[in-house]
Structures are given as structure tokens and as C-alpha cells.
Structure 1
């Protein structure tokens, strides 16, 4: 079966979506399908990677100042060339990743070509637009695109029960929950960790308005009162980075560092040596159903996570004993950071085993490939 995978992000670009879609392409190929990926040319700092088992077609797109394909102009620079390629590319089935503009364009092409579409819902963009107080016209447009993509899709893959509930509310009918995860081949304990002269916490990943990563900077003055040697290191990119830099310069000028986007192997080294890996989601914005991928990466590297917030991510950490949870306040976060510095670090072997058994993207990709294959067989019966 010829499968076309539509995604603006793909390996070797350093992003959770890129890792997730590569795992899916690998799973589809392992299941015997002929896979073509329609994606973007990665930024220069992403490096290179070969994909001998399937075809990856790329073209240049517009990126914002941070190097992200983020914003409607940037999305359009991918979506319209993608539509033209998808119209002529041989395909038995199409799989689309968000944003909803991409999903809607792919759905439109599939409607014209009478091909089945599957939508990989890693999150809900309509809810994200509400959470960041986007203008009403932006919300209406994004909401309409998302509903069209979900309703036109033959099937929707949801990364959690919370996401599944939301996509059903938006009109999806055939939904399969396959938990998210991390590439355990790249994120694993590393003995050769960085050796700074002070204990540190690491925040690895996207920093946007939704994440509220500033709570950790605001906690640092309290932490430094007891542990003046402690450091906080951010790795990744996002719209919140400029504000975080300004805040860090005001509150903890010598204790917070920003390392930018780094390759997975380097990120794994920093996570492996950290006192704790940090993740957060601002509560009460309608996004509490999301599960932070950073928690999976921490476990895979044998490092306890500290999650600030409520909802699905907090439950994930508490139910599986993956670290600590704090209320989303600087005081509560600081107390848990201090507890991590004062206490003995738990054995990492159990965390690594949990990630291998419950959060491996390789397994995720195979499960999705099998579900799509079986679902299409049911259609032909």
C-alpha cells in the first residue's frame, strides 16, 4: 500500500513532532507499506540524516525569527506546495499531522481524489488558540479548519484519552488512542554527562505561552537562597524565549542559561546529568488534558521529572512515580526543586525500564501502522 505522510516537521529537525512522525514512517515501512514523506527543508543546524527505507521529499518554507514553521504565513508556505504535490503523488492513503490548515488542505485533496485520510492529533489547536488568547477571527478560522479535517478523516489517532475526548467533541467518529512517547534509541542514560561545577535542572523542549516555563525562573531566587550553586538550563526554542531571557536577567542573572536547540544526543547528555528535568503547562487554560513529552524524555534518560501544573501530565508523573509534581506557583516549584537537591536521586533504572515498556516511539509507530492497516481492511470487507 502506498502511504503519503504529510508533515511540516520531520527528522532530522529537533522537535517532538519530527520524532513522532519518523517513528510512524518507520512503523509503516516495517509493516510492508511504501512510504513517501512530504515535508520541509530542515534548518541548517538540524544536520543531515538518510532514510534508505522510504522517500522523503522536501522543499524550502518560510520560518519565523526562531527558525520555527509557526504562523499562518509560514504554514501556507508549506501547505500550498504540499497540495500540488499531493494531487499528483501516487497514494492509497494519506496521513496528516497538524496544524489544522495542513489537515484541512490534505482533507480537501483526499476528497477530490477519493482517498482515505488519517489525522494524527497530537493536540487540539482550537484549545491552544483559546489558551493564548488569540484574536477571535484567528480562533474561528483555526476551529473551522480543525473541524473540517477531523470530520473528513476516515480515522483519527489521538495521543491520549483527553485528546480523544476533544476530537470526538469536534466531530471525529473513528478514533484510536495510541500514547505518545520518546525515541528511546536517542534518549537514554549517558555516562559521559556534562560536568559543570554545580548541580543543575534542565528544561528540554518548546517554550511557548502554553507551557509557562517562566515559573521555573521565578522559582530560582528562592532555590538560590538555600543552594546558591544551583543552575537552570533551558534547551529548545519557542515564542517565550525572549521573555524568559529578560526575566532571567532580572531575577537570576548568573544562574539561568539558554543553550538553544541541540541535537538529541546532546540533550540526552544534559538530561542524564540533571538533578531534575522540568516541564510545565499553565493550568486553567483548557489545555490540562495534554501530556508533556518532556516527561517521557526525562524517564528515558533515567532522570526524575518535575512537572508544574495540573491535569494529565501531573497524573502521568504521580501514577507512575516518574518524579515530583508542584502547584503552578514559584513557591511550590521552588520547594520541589529544593527537595530534589536535598534528597538522594532515585535509581534511574526503573525510570528507563518504564520508558522502554510504556513510552517508546518505536512501539507507538508500529501500533499506529497496524491500526491503520486493519482499519482499511475492515473498510474493504
Structure 2
């Protein structure tokens, strides 16, 4: 049995979308006959929600996968400053690079999942020192998104250094995986990419995320990272404008950097009875909450550098048989159109309210959209199928040298 190591900044018991994706990928690969090791930090995200530990490493067996949690800097604050955030992002991949260097002859392939960008460090180090196959898994344009959201200044030394490092990784990797075709085009237009590039979508576990038999609640739902890329405040204000007629609740499942701001907005707008924050919940509870909701929302901000994004939450809504309302353009609009399961609204409370009302007034349409969405993700985005495709690449590249 050949061995593969996956390096990821997030892994359960963290509840982020990427944590669940890496878990599903690793477990499916293991079931397909590959010996999988995952390197991840001690549980840290959302920052400040887990107790700090100074333990160097902790090894566990999780559903057939060897998981090695390594020490990294663990911010105390839910919205850490730049220095603390960078320490978190950098100490883990450097620690992982040292760990892998001493285990460098054990693995036939290494998969590094970005963002953050720096998870490429151990892949780059191993590629320079061994013959290991390196699959560079890129989930978004981390640098561009950081600039758009105001975390990074365009043209700064930090941006130039980050782009140079990304080019170094792209020049060394044996395969580059991207979540969407648009993401692949944008990477190819900015960087020199010599390795083959393949589509490795976020996908969804359709065995876990599926329609439930219970009844519906009078609510819409957002399930995901409560972060800067989402116009959740616009959705909350849309719900406020509708509640004279529709008596609608807005359930926000998750946590993140902007939760405190949203809670203050909800308080100031007298929305405490309409907008409900659950915080981080056990992963197994999420499908039921989605299935019991009427509509899912994926309100990406209207930014040029987010047009490549197809949020995992949209796949989860579709797998649970409910329609979604998205904001933004690019891949999320293509997903809504191709699947027939979504509606795209402008990033204003008025437009979001109008889109919600158009669905709520037509239950038959909502039911049909939910059915189409379930069929679409089961055919195109089931994580078992994505893992099988990845296994075939690993076999061809790492085992036969093709």
C-alpha cells in the first residue's frame, strides 16, 4: 500500500468548510486503498475557541486516517491582529516541513491545501530534497482576496514576497488542483504554470448532506464562515424589511471575524428576535438544520477577486434539497444557472428581499429547485467521486512516474 500525506491548516474537530472537505477527502482515499496521513495544527480555528496547548505533536487514528496534530501559534482572540494571524499561518507549515523532512522517505505523494498560501512550504521543501510527487491544491486566490478585503496593501513588500513564493510553488508542483475553471484561468493568467492543472471542486458528502424527513421551519439559513467575504449584514436587513409580511427567521450557523459586528448590527436594528446566531455546532447537526430551512443564502460580496468562488455552502444547500440565493457574479452565478437550484441577487437588502419573496411566494418552484439541486450535486460534486479522481492521479503520477 502506497502512502500519501495531506497538509492542511484545518481539520476536525474544527468546523470550517475546508476542515470537513479535507476529512472527507482523506477518509474516501483511505477507503479506496491508500494509506493516508494528515498533518494539521492542533485545533485552533475559529481563533480563540479552543484551549491553547504547547504539546509538540499528537497522533490519532480517525476513521482509518492517521492524523498528526502539530504545534502552531494559537491566537487567543477571535479576530487576531496581523502579527498573531501571520504567526498562526507560518508556524504550522514550518513545523510541518521539519516533520516531513525527517519522514521524507515514507510518502509517495504529498498534497498541500491552500489557503493559506504558506501550506506550500512543506511541499516545496520536500520537492527540493526528494522525488516525492507534489499535488498543490489551491482553493482560492488568497493574496488577491486579502487585497480586496483590505488585509493586504497592493504593491507592498509582503504582497511581492507572497507572489514570488506562490510562483516558486507553481513551478515545482507536479499537479495543480483548482476548485473552479475560472480559478484555473486566473492562476494561469498571472503565473507561469508548467504542471498539469485539473478541476478538484470543493464538493459535498451527499451521504451526510441529504434531505431530511422532518417538517420545515419558517426561516432561511447561512451555514459557514462568518467572514469578510460575505454580505450577511445585507441579508439581515432584507429580513427586517420583510417581516411585516413573511415572519421570517434568519439562522446564522458558524463563527468568524465579523460575527461581533453582525451581532451589534442586529442589536441596533432591533433584529434580535429575527436573526439567530448558533455559533459553531457539531458537524452532524448541520444537514438537519439546512433541510428544515426554506432557503439557503450564499451572499458573496461583489468583488472582482471573488468571481472565481463557488462556496461549499451552496453545494450543501443543494444536497439537502433546498434552493439557494447567492450574491456576486462569476462561478456562483454559473452554478445557479447550470443547476437550476439558485437565484442570484444584487448585493442590496432590497434585491435580496425581492429574491426571497419571489421564492417564498412560489412553494412549487422552491420544491422543484431543491430537487434539481440534489440531483445536480449528486452527479457532479459528490466528494467520493472527487476523491476517486484524485486517487487516479496519484496512481498515475506517483506509482508509474507518468
Instruction: Indicate yes or no: 2:203 matched with 1:181.
Output: yes
Check the 8 A contact 2:94/2:121 in 1, yes or no. no
For structure 2, the residue ranges without an aligned partner over 5 or more in a row are: 52-59
Aligned position for 1:171: 192
Alignment partner of 2:401: what SS?
helix
Q: Distance in 2 between matches of 1:254 and 1:373?
A: 54
Check the 8 A contact 1:203/1:235 in 2, yes or no. yes
Change in CA separation of 1:143 and 1:71 when aligned onto 2, cut-off 3 Å: farther
Alignment partner of 1:379: what SS?
coil
Change in CA separation of 1:167 and 1:369 when aligned onto 2, cut-off 3 Å: farther
Instruction: Give the CA deviation at 1:151.
Output: 1.9
Identify which of 63, 70, 88 aligns with 1:59.
70
Aligned position for 1:299: 318
Check the 8 A contact 2:93/2:120 in 1, yes or no. no
Aligned position for 1:266: 285
Q: Distance in 1 between matches of 2:257 and 2:375?
A: 34
Identify which of 89, 113, 128 aligns with 1:75.
89
Alignment partner of 1:274: what SS?
coil
Q: Distance in 2 between matches of 1:369 and 1:27?
A: 9
Instruction: Give the CA deviation at 1:20.
Output: 1.9
TM-score (norm 1): 0.90
Check the 8 A contact 2:97/2:121 in 1, yes or no. no
Change in CA separation of 1:189 and 1:264 when aligned onto 2, cut-off 3 Å: farther
Q: Distance in 2 between matches of 1:105 and 1:27?
A: 23
Check the 8 A contact 1:19/1:182 in 2, yes or no. no
Instruction: Indicate yes or no: 2:389 matched with 1:367.
Output: yes
User: Which protein, 1 or 2, shows the higher relative CO under an 8 Å CA cutoff with sep ≥ 6?
Assistant: 1
Q: Distance in 1 between matches of 2:97 and 2:199?
A: 28
Q: Distance in 2 between matches of 1:184 and 1:245?
A: 32
Alignment partner of 2:304: what SS?
coil
Equivalent residues in 2 for 1:1-381 (5 A)?
Answer: 1-42=2-43, 51-64=62-75, 65-66=77-78, 71-89=85-103, 90-98=106-114, 99-133=116-150, 134-135=152-153, 136-169=156-189, 170-173=191-194, 174-192=196-214, 199-227=218-246, 229-251=247-269, 252-344=271-363, 345-347=366-368, 348-377=370-399, 379-380=401-402
Count of residue correspondences: 374
* Residues 308-353 of structure 1: CA deviation (Å, up to 9, x unaligned): 1211101101221112211111111111112222221314444322
Instruction: Give the CA deviation at 1:271.
Output: 0.7
Change in CA separation of 1:37 and 1:103 when aligned onto 2, cut-off 3 Å: same
Instruction: Give the CA deviation at 1:377.
Output: 5.0
Q: Distance in 1 between matches of 2:35 and 2:240?
A: 54
* Residues 38-74 of structure 1: CA deviation (Å, up to 9, x unaligned): 112225879xx95242311113433343399x92111
Q: Distance in 2 between matches of 1:178 and 1:276?
A: 27
Q: Distance in 2 between matches of 1:50 and 1:375?
A: 27
Instruction: Give the CA deviation at 1:5.
Output: 1.1
Instruction: Give the CA deviation at 1:378.
Output: 5.8
Q: Distance in 2 between matches of 1:151 and 1:23?
A: 28
